[in-house]
Amino acid sequence: MPLYTKIGDKGETLLYGGGMTSKTNPRVHAYGSIDELSALLGVILAEGESGSWREELLSIQRSLYRAGADLATPLRDPVIHMRMTQADVEDMERRIDVLESLIKPLTHFILPGGTRIGALLHQARTVCRRAERWVVSLSESEEINGACLRYLNRLGDFFFALARKVNADADIPETELSSS
């Protein structure tokens, strides 16, 4: 069987649970942005400098796969067995709490940057926020699994905290945003 299906030649795509939709549907933007985020995590992992965070990032990639599958399947469709849960959200909150305990509290806004990995984690945060916006857009037209939205919201915070931790570990000072 060839990789190409020709299904998308007219601007439509097949959803995980069946049915066709436009490639401009907020659902496709949402799970497509999640796929982009997972690919960006692959870039970070390929850098080889993720060190002690490697397993954590791989775990997040697996969760993103589930989130993408969740969003690619209308909520009313019982075919999917890998929906995101409140436990996923709470796990991400615990991860953020651990990171926050290891870094100095923020007193100013900071500019994204630092080490290459730190900068890429800031980029991951922005891609995550885009995915989150598309999930909100989708939720305005149909019911979604709210755990997906909450997970993405926490995940953006996680990437911010991890970027700060990676930069602090490399002894790279954060660039504070000044009022001038």
Q: What domains does the chain contain, in order, with CATH numbers? A: 7-75+83-170 (1.20.1200.10)
| pLDDT at residue 49, rounded to an integer | 66
| pLDDT at residue 180, rounded to an integer | 58
Contact (Cβ atoms closer than 8 angstroms) between residue 32 and residue 15: no
* Low-confidence stretches of the chain (pLDDT beneath 50): none
| pLDDT at residue 75, rounded to an integer | 82
AA identity, residue 100? E
CA separation for the pair 54, 47 (Å, rounded): 11
| pLDDT at residue 105, rounded to an integer | 92
| pLDDT at residue 1, rounded to an integer | 65
| pLDDT at residue 92, rounded to an integer | 98
Query: Does residue 21 sit in helix, strand or coil?
Result: strand
| pLDDT at residue 43, rounded to an integer | 95
Q: Torsions phi, psi of 21, nearest 5?
A: -150, 160
pLDDT digits (tens, 9 = 90+) for 127-158: 999 999 999 999 999 999 999 999 999 999 99
Using alpha carbons, select from 137, 151, 150 the residue that is nearest to residue 26.
Answer: 137
| pLDDT at residue 15, rounded to an integer | 77
Query: Does residue 121 sit in helix, strand or coil?
Result: helix
